[in-house]
Amino acid sequence: MKNPYRPFLTRIDKITIENEAKDLKTFRLVFCDEEEAKGFRFQCGQFGELTIFGVGECPIGIASSPMDEDFIEFTVKRYPNGLVTNALHNCRVGDRVGVRGPLGNCFPMERMEGKNLVIVGGGFAFTTLRSTIQFILHVANRGKFADLTLVYGARSPGELLYKDELKQWETRKDIQTHITVDKGDQDWKGQEGFVPAVVEQVAPSPENALVLLCGPPIMLKYTLPVLTRLGFGPGEIITSLEMRMKCGIGLCGRCNIGPMYVCRDGPVFTYEQIQALPAEF
Ligand SMILES: Cc1cc2nc3c(=O)[nH]c(=O)nc-3n(C[C@H](O)[C@H](O)[C@H](O)COP(=O)(O)OP(=O)(O)OC[C@H]3O[C@@H](n4cnc5c(N)ncnc54)[C@H](O)[C@@H]3O)c2cc1C
Ligand code: FES
């Protein structure tokens, strides 16, 4: 039987510095073993445990699309004093990184088919939503989903992730993008304002629609009532929880909320499911 704690060996193929503060980098990883690469099939919303050998491992959402089979990408924020995230940020192209996964559940793609999708993201929690948008926009998949609306915000223009992709999406007719920053600078020509206010202004219809909502707690706190006012029920709002984790496979008990293990039963939950859990997070 395969040892679930043994990571796959990957090589860093590309590193993209995403933000002005330079504390967010996207790591493109390529499997060292071709057979392992073929066997690693994931779905949008899943995560991996990234290992820096001799340092430790930590859970990170998969930021690339399942349609990209030659590599996987992770966008990682360097935590002040964070052991693994600092070690990762010190890595260079060609260095080896371990990956365990794919882990956890995923966004409910089958349920999302045929629906109008409203994707609301803030800060660096946008990573698995980026994976989802790339997947939906792929020519093989776009026809399966109805309208796609994106509201994505960051503190400042320099903190927006995936800037080239955002520009491309803005030129497409099959995704309505609303990119906002809390405060612009002299070059910013786009929208200013907090994500909840922009969602209220865009006012997506709840008819035949689902919302994917990921962001910092403060954004979620103020966006939820807006979505409720617009008519979205808690079963139609889907999010991803970020608990502290260790094993990532439902064995150590580090991430439980009541009877649920976030690593195994999540990290993706509807607000209806979250409301039924004890308030332990
Ligand atoms: C399912 C899931 C997906 C994630 N996806 C991403 C992602 O895409 N990109 C990304 O940058 N991060 C993501 N995270 C968060 C990431 O796992 C943590 O930032 C990481 O574990 C920090 O590891 P470290 O060794 O650098 O920090 P540590 O050395 O473990 O801790 C450093 C400091 O940060 C605090 N800290 C660390 N992790 C957390 C946490 N989760 N919540 C609160 N405080 C914490 C510690 O208390 C300590 O003070 C995800 C977490 C989960 C559970
Ligand atoms: S992290 Fe070990 S049970 Fe979830």
DSSP per-residue string spanning 118-182: EEEEEGGGGHHHHHHHHHHHSTTTGGGS--EEEEEEESSGGG-SSHHHHHHHHH-SSSEEEEEES
Q: Is the CB of 246 under 6 A from ligand 2?
A: yes
What is the average per-residue pLDDT within 75-83? 94
Q: What confidence score (pLDDT) does residue 280 get? A: 64
Each residue's pLDDT tens digit, 139-195: 999 999 999 999 999 999 999 999 999 999 999 999 999 999 999 999 999 999 999
Is 209 within 8 Å of 238 (Cβ atoms)? no
Which atom of ligand 1 is least distant from the CA of 59?
Answer: 17
Residue 148 burial by Cβ neighbours in a 10 Å radius (0-12, 13-18, 19+) = buried
Rounded to the nearest angstrom, the distance between the alpha carbon of 58 and the centre of ligand 1 is: 7
Verify whether ligand 1 is closer than 6 Å to residue 87 (CB atom).
no
100 pairs with which residues across the strands? 49
Work out the pLDDT band at 2, boundaries 50, 70, 90. confident
Tens digits of per-residue pLDDT, 22-70?
Answer: 999 999 999 999 999 999 999 999 999 999 999 999 999 999 999 999 9
82 lines ligand 2 (CB under 6 A): no
Rounded distance from Cα 256 to ligand 2 centre (Å)? 7
pLDDT > 90? residue 123: no
Model confidence, pTM: 0.95
75: its two tokens: 């966008």
Q: Which amino acid residue places its CA nearest to atom 3 of ligand 2?
A: 250
How many CA atoms does the CB half-sphere of 5 hold within 13 Å?
Answer: 5
189: its two tokens: 């020509």
Identify the band that residue 281 occupies on the pLDDT scale cut at 50, 70 and 90.
low
